[in-house]
Structures are given as C-alpha cells and as structure tokens.
Structure 1
Amino acid sequence: MPVLLSIAILALLILVHEAGHFAAAKLQGIHVNRFSLGFGPVLWRYQGKETEYAIRALPLGGYVGFPDDDERSPYPPDDPDLLKNRPVADRLVVMSAGVMANLAFAYLVLVLMFATLGIPSVTRIHPGILIAQVMPDSPAERAGLQAEDVVLRAADHDYSTVADEASALAALNDFQALIRRRQNRPVPLQVQRGEGDPILEITVTPEMRGEVVAIGVNLAPNQEVTLRPAQSPAEIFAEAGNAYQRLVMMNLSGLQQLLQNFQNTATQVSGPVGIVKLGADLARDDAASLFNFTALISINLAILNLLPLPALDGGHIAFLILEAIRGKRLPKELEERVMQTGLVLLLGLGVVLIFKDTLAIVTGSG
C-alpha cells in the first residue's frame, strides 16, 4: 500500500502539471487534441468533441498534445487558434501554466494538512542537536554518523545542557559555526545514537562542499513536536505560507548545491523509483510526512521544469523569450533538433536514474 500510495501521489502531481497546460490552452480557445496521463500502452481512452483523453500503463509522466503539426489535423495551417499561430504572450501562458499549477497545488496541500491534522507545536526540548539527515558520500557518512544521531558535544562545545527553544537554536547555530571554522581539521564528537545506549566517540573532518565548509548533514533541534487544532483560518493560511517558503528555499538550496558541486552531489539525485521509495517510506511514518512529501515534490517538479533545458517547459519558455527579443521565431529545424536532442538526453538520464535507484533498493544501500 505505501508504494501504491507514493505512485498515486506522483501521478497526481503530474496530472496537476499537465492540467495546468491544458486549462491555460482551453481557456484561451487554443486547440488541444490530446491529454494523456502516463506513457506506453493505453489502458483507457475517451474521445471528446476535440480532445482525446487517455490513461496509459506507465503513470510516471504525461503530456498535452497540440494538432499544430499533426498531418491528420482537421484545422488549416493558418488557423489562428493553433498554438503556433498565437502571440508569444499566449504561448508563454500555456508553457508556464504547468509550473504555476504545481506551485499553487503545493500550497493547497499544506493548507489542507494544517486544516485537517493541526498546527505543529513544540512540547518538549531534549539535550543535544539532532542530525536529521546524512548526505551520501559526505564526511559525516564516512565518519559513521547516522540520521537520528544526537550530537551532545563537539570539541570543547557542550550541547547537553540545552533546555529550551532559545538554547536549542543557539546550540544549532554554534555547531554550524564551529564546523565552518574547522575545514580539513578533525572535530571530535560525542554522539547519542539511541536512548540509553552508550555515548559514541566519533571524529568528523569538515571539508569544502560547494562554497561552504560542511560535513554533509541536515540539522534540527532535538525536540518533540505535537499537532494542535488551528485557532482560526488565518492561522492555517499563515502556517501554510511559512511552511511553503521553507520548502521552496529547501528546493532552491538543493539545486544550488547540485550546480555548484555537481561531482559530490550528483549521487544524491533520484529518479522516479527513488522518489517512489522515499514516498513509501514516509507513508509508513505519519500523514504529516506524506503531506510534506507531496508539497515538496510538487515544488521540486515546478522548479526543475523551469530550468532552461530542451524538452522541459523552461526550454520552451527560453525559445519564446528569444523569439520575443528577435521579433521572429528561430528556424523551425533548429528548434526541433534542439528539442529532440534534449528529449533523448532527458530519457537517457531517466533510464540511468531508474537503474541506479533500483540497484540501490535491491542492494539495500538506498
């Protein structure tokens, strides 16, 4: 069930994205001849007045088709309602609508989470600093640190006396500053792995990762959080806005690290299989984690699609911006060649990531 739920969420986010393109075209009176969720063999098909709707066997994808270059199109080449004959502004609206749909949907998911589950509230602060995540092939992983470890001491800095939110935040900032000052110099840590277990002595050596000195972990205050009912609709929307901002910044920070330090961070990139596994793992935890996962992936899908790469929405948008600047379209052959090359590379990357994620799951390393 968790795997099926994760696949369903990913398919829903793709449906939202494609529905954005579809709605933007239809609302402008632009002809659309296909709306498909998934790829591969057709499982269900319905022929509407103008548009064919289909669900296909592989749900991890989808597309909106336009009859512009379809040899069987019933519309003449100069039809003003063909996408290619519309002004640049109209086409920009269609190409950017999928991204906007995913961004809006992520916020609605967070609103629904806070409305149904409640508002997070800290009920107890524990000593130490929680390691929420350990990055693959990082100094922390090589030193033996694990997710859910609690750092009680680093060098001569004691974090075992943390007792409230202010001191927890101060300890977290102090530890981060300590790491940044100790590039290529060992930092001895005292770590609590499990409640009641002996204290572990672990030494980690910070290194330059991108533009900052780090050990490759995500940190959080070591605290217990419960959910309480919202006091008003205004609080729900405000909390959703705060959570939305954090998720957007998390996505942008991850993308920045990938671009700045591709060699070390490329191994962390996941394809559809890895995303499904992550969603399935979170589905076993609690509903709040699943809501956050849905919003996070929806924002991630939007940001990635905005990249100015061929075959992505950002690639089409880049061509439209160039057309607006030049005052005329680029040669059709050039556009097609670039888009086809980009599509091949994108599909190739997808296959590589699927094999990588599948191998990691089979071998137990993912």
Structure 2
Amino acid sequence: MITAISFILVFCALVFFHEFGHFAAAKLNGIYVHQFALGMGPVLFKKKIGETEYSLRLLPIGGFVNMEGEDGESDHPRAFSNKKPFQRLIVLSSGPIMNFVLALILFFSVFTIIGFPSNIVGNVTDGFPAQVSGIERGDIIKTIDGRSIKSWEDVISAISSSKDTLDIVVVRNSKEIEFNIVPKLDNGRKIIGVTSGYQKNFFKSVKYSFLVVGDVIKGITSFLINLPLKGTQGGDVVGPVGMVGMIGKAAKESMVRLLQLSAMISINLGIFNLLPLPALDGGRIVFVLIELLRGKPVNKEAEGKVHFIGFVLLMALMVFLVFRDISKF
C-alpha cells in the first residue's frame, strides 16, 4: 500500500511540474490552451475556468496540455503553430526546465531537514590516520597545509592534492589544535578516515541544491554520451515496474530517501524529454531549430508523421522495459 501511494504521489508531482511548465509558458505567450489534465483515461473531475478546461483523470500515468495548433496547422491567431519560433522554444523547453526546478526544491527540502555536508568532523573511523592522530567527532577543520577550509569540498580537495604529510588545524572547544597526519591510500584516493558532519543554513542549502543538481545533470549527460560506446549494464536502465519498486523501497526507508530519489527521477525525466527524439520535447525543439535555419516552417504533416512514429517506438520501448522488469522477479 505504501509503495502504491508513494508511486502515485511522486509520479503525479513529476508530471504536474512538467506539464505546468508547458502550461504556464503557453499562457504567458498568449497561446490558446484547451485543456490541462493530470492523469490519463476517464475523467474523475473537470472544471472550465475561462477558456481552459482543467481535469483530473483516473490513471496516474501522465498528463497533458492541449494547445490550439500544437500538432498541425490552425487559423486561430493564438495557435501554438502561429507563434514565433523563440516563443515555441520557450513553451517546449519549459516542461523539462520545471523538472529541474522540482529537483532543486526537493534537494533543498532534504538539506533543510538533515543539513548539508560541512567542514565539521562527523564520524572518525577506528584505526585510520585521523583517529590514531587524535582528531575527534565535532572538530571543525580550519586549515589543511595552510589552506583555509570552509566546506567539505575544500576538505576533500585539500587531502587529495596534499603531499605525504598533512598539517591539519582544527578548532575544538574554541581552541586550535594542530595535527600532522599521513593519509592512507584507498583505491588510489588519499583518505584520513573522517566523514562530514551536517550543518543547517538556509542560503547554503540553496547553494548545495544547485551544486547537487548540476552534478547529477553532468553525470547523466556523461552516461548518455558514452552510451553508444560502452552500452548498458542490466541495472543501468529501469522501466516503470522497476521504478515503482525503487520508490516503494525509498518510502519505507525514510522521507529523506524518498525526496532524494524523487529529485533524481525528476532530473532524469527532464533530460530524457530534452533528447532530440521524435515525440519528445527535444524532438519538437529540433524541428523549430530547423525552421530557424531554413527560414521557413517544416511541413506540419511530415513533422506529425515523424512524431507519431517516434511515439510508437517509445511505447514499444516502454513495453520492453516493463517485460524486462517483470522478468527480473
């Protein structure tokens, strides 16, 4: 039950932010929006406000924004197809961008709840150089080899670029204590056997949220770039069934773990939708860019056929991933 509820809440949040991005951008650019729907299938609730009908549907497996002239020609002056290319680019890219915004909000929530890594010593591993030298939990690392330390990233950078012996100054009970420590090599990395303590600060939480989202985007992008050369391992790509299991497991572990996983999925969703594939936002963006290069619109009928074929292929991929997930059980 927890798994089902968690999946529905997470998926609805991801879809809502994505589709709301398209919706808000369309409205701001004066595009006529017929419908804004959360979910698919039979309508559970609907209400028309102004020119737009808002609906909640039975199946929590998606959502959509229905804009005039989105998939073909239209004589309506406020049709999507009649807007300037840069306006259409803004509308198409706003969905994925909102997925990144959601990830920022979720990571910020995590850092607000548990804090963020700092230059305060958390755990000290028995038998490792830091513990042997006398560093204790709660010590504040002030300098390493004369280098001022302000964050956990500074600690890692200073240790990894250090010489054979580290000159570490910590603050303990308002007093400075100096240690000379010889790092230990672990898989080619220099370590001293300490982990970061966590600290809470509103503005630094915002900063760390941007840093983490940036790192995740870099990691996923690197994976996609190397995909044609290295291929994938069995666990690299997860389908809908596998995602349900991951979300359920995270929900049972803790709210923080669920928020972290939701942020990761949101970033993945944003990047996936920006891929230059037919039927995705990225594919539609490509056609607008081609229009800008050609100086005239692409044939809408031809573009529609390309997106339809892309949609069929994406559904086939989805079915394949579902069956593969099930086979793992």
- Relative to the length of structure 2, the TM-score reads 0.75
Report deviation, 1:244. Answer: 2.0
Please give the per-residue CA displacement for 1:330-352, whole angstroms capped at 9, x wherever unaligned. Answer: 11221011010001111111122
1:182 — aligned with what? none
Please give the per-residue CA displacement for 1:136-169, whole angstroms capped at 9, x wherever unaligned. Answer: xxxxxxxxxxxxxxxxxxxxxxxxxxxxx9947x
Please give the per-residue CA displacement for 1:300-326, whole angstroms capped at 9, x wherever unaligned. Answer: 111111100001000000000000100
Q: For residues 222 and 42 of structure 1, what CA distance do their matches in structure 2 show? A: 57
Q: Aligned pair 1:67/2:35, yes or no? A: no
Q: Match for 1:344 among 291, 296, 312?
A: 312
Correspondence 1:69-218 to 2 at 5 A = 77-120=74-117, 123-126=122-125, 167=183, 170-174=185-189
Q: Aligned pair 1:242/2:211, yes or no? A: yes
Note if contact 2:74-2:81 (Cα within 8 Å) is conserved in structure 1: no
Q: For residues 166 and 283 of structure 1, what CA distance do their matches in structure 2 show? A: 41
Report deviation, 1:127. Answer: 7.3
Q: What SS is found at the alignment partner of 2:186? A: helix
Q: Aligned pair 1:317/2:318, yes or no? A: no
- Runs of 5+ consecutive residues of structure 1 not aligned to the other structure: 129-164, 176-219
Report deviation, 1:250. Answer: 2.5
1:155 — aligned with what? none
- Are the structure 2 counterparts of residues 29 and 281 from structure 1 closer, same or farther at C-alpha, using a change threshold of 3 Å? same
Q: For residues 5 and 299 of structure 2, what CA distance do their matches in structure 1 show? A: 44
Note if contact 1:7-1:276 (Cα within 8 Å) is conserved in structure 2: no
Q: For residues 70 and 312 of structure 1, what CA distance do their matches in structure 2 show? A: 13
Q: What SS is found at the alignment partner of 1:33? A: strand
Note if contact 1:102-1:298 (Cα within 8 Å) is conserved in structure 2: yes
Q: Match for 1:330 among 281, 298, 305?
A: 298
Q: For residues 299 and 127 of structure 1, what CA distance do their matches in structure 2 show? A: 37
Note if contact 1:118-1:227 (Cα within 8 Å) is conserved in structure 2: yes
Note if contact 2:70-2:81 (Cα within 8 Å) is conserved in structure 1: no
Q: For residues 273 and 88 of structure 1, what CA distance do their matches in structure 2 show? A: 38
- Runs of 5+ consecutive residues of structure 2 not aligned to the other structure: 128-180
Please give the per-residue CA displacement for 1:8-30, whole angstroms capped at 9, x wherever unaligned. Answer: 11220111000000000011111
Note if contact 2:279-2:307 (Cα within 8 Å) is conserved in structure 1: yes
1:53 — aligned with what? 54
- Are the structure 2 counterparts of residues 253 and 34 from structure 1 closer, same or farther at C-alpha, using a change threshold of 3 Å? same
Q: What SS is found at the alignment partner of 2:37? A: strand
Q: For residues 283 and 70 of structure 2, what CA distance do their matches in structure 1 show? A: 19
- Are the structure 2 counterparts of residues 342 and 77 from structure 1 closer, same or farther at C-alpha, using a change threshold of 3 Å? closer
Q: For residues 221 and 254 of structure 1, what CA distance do their matches in structure 2 show? A: 30
Q: For residues 97 and 319 of structure 1, what CA distance do their matches in structure 2 show? A: 16
1:282 — aligned with what? 250
Please give the per-residue CA displacement for 1:202-246, whole angstroms capped at 9, x wherever unaligned. Answer: xxxxxxxxxxxxxxxxxx998766644x1x322212222222222
- State the one-letter code of the partner of 2:91: V
- Are the structure 2 counterparts of residues 296 and 221 from structure 1 closer, same or farther at C-alpha, using a change threshold of 3 Å? farther
Note if contact 1:38-1:60 (Cα within 8 Å) is conserved in structure 2: yes
1:301 — aligned with what? 269
Q: For residues 253 and 193 of structure 2, what CA distance do their matches in structure 1 show? A: 18
Report deviation, 1:274. Answer: 1.4
- State the one-letter code of the partner of 1:305: N
Q: Report the more deviating stretch, 297-306 or 45-54.
A: 45-54
- State the one-letter code of the partner of 1:4: I
Q: Report the more deviating stretch, 310-319 or 234-243.
A: 234-243
RMSD: 3.0
Q: For residues 21 and 119 of structure 1, what CA distance do their matches in structure 2 show? A: 32
Identity of aligned residues (%): 36
1:358 — aligned with what? 326
Note if contact 2:100-2:213 (Cα within 8 Å) is conserved in structure 1: no
Note if contact 2:68-2:74 (Cα within 8 Å) is conserved in structure 1: no
- Relative to the length of structure 1, the TM-score reads 0.68
1:13 — aligned with what? 14
Paired residues, what number?
275
- State the one-letter code of the partner of 2:123: R
Q: What SS is found at the alignment partner of 1:123? A: strand
